[in-house]
Structure 1
Amino acid sequence: MGLLMPTPVRNPKTSIYELRVRVPADLVEIARGKVVGLPVGDSVRQVTSGDAVKVSLGTREPNEAKTRHAAAYAALTSFWAALRNGPTALSQKQTFALAGEAYAAFVAAFDENPGSAERWQRVLRVNSAARAGKLNPLAIPDQRQRLKDIEARFGDLVSGLIANKGLVIDDQSRRNVLMTVADALDRAAAINLAKAGGDYSGAGTTAVYPAFEKPGTRSTGGGAASKISLVSIIDEEKRRRSLGKDAVGLNAKTEQKFRRHSASFTAFADSDDAAVITTKLVRDWMEDLLAKGRVSNRTVKDMLSSVRTVVQWGREHRPDEFHPVANPVSGVAPPEARSRPSSDLTYTLEEARRVLAGARNSTNHNTRWLPWLCAYSGARVEEIAGLRREDFFKSGDDWFYHVRAKPNRSIKNINSERRVPVHPALIDEGLIDFLDRAKLGVRLFTRSPSQDISRFVRGTIKIERNVPPSHGWRHLFEDLCTAAGVSDDARAYITGRGTGTSRDRYGRSDAMLPGLAREIKKLKRFF
Structure 2
Amino acid sequence: MLFRLVRPMKRKGTQNRHYERRIPSDVRHLAVGLRLSIPVGDEFRSVTISGRTQLVRVSLRTADPAEVKRRLAQVDEYLERLWWHLRADQPISLTHEQATALAGDFYRAWASTAVRSTVVEEVNGTMVVVEHESEDARQELWAALADRVGDAREAVEFDPETRKWMEDYLGPIIRLSLIRKGLTRVDEASWWRLVEAFARAAMDAFRKQQRNAAGDYRADLNADRFPEWRPPTPSVPSVQPNRKPDPGPPKVTITGLLEAWWLEAKARRLKASTYESYRTAVNLLVAAVGHDDAIRVTADDILAFKDQRIADGISPKTVNDSNLSALKGLFGWAVRNRKLSANPAKDVGVKSVKTPRLRSKGFTDEEALTILQHAMTHTQGPTEAWQIAMAKRWVPWLCAFTGARVGEMIQLRKEDVRQHGDAWIVRITPEAGTVKDNEAREVPL
More strand by share: 2
Tell which structure's C-alpha radius of gyration is larger: 2
- Smaller-chain TM-score range? 0.3 to 0.5
TM-score, normalising length: structure 2: 0.43
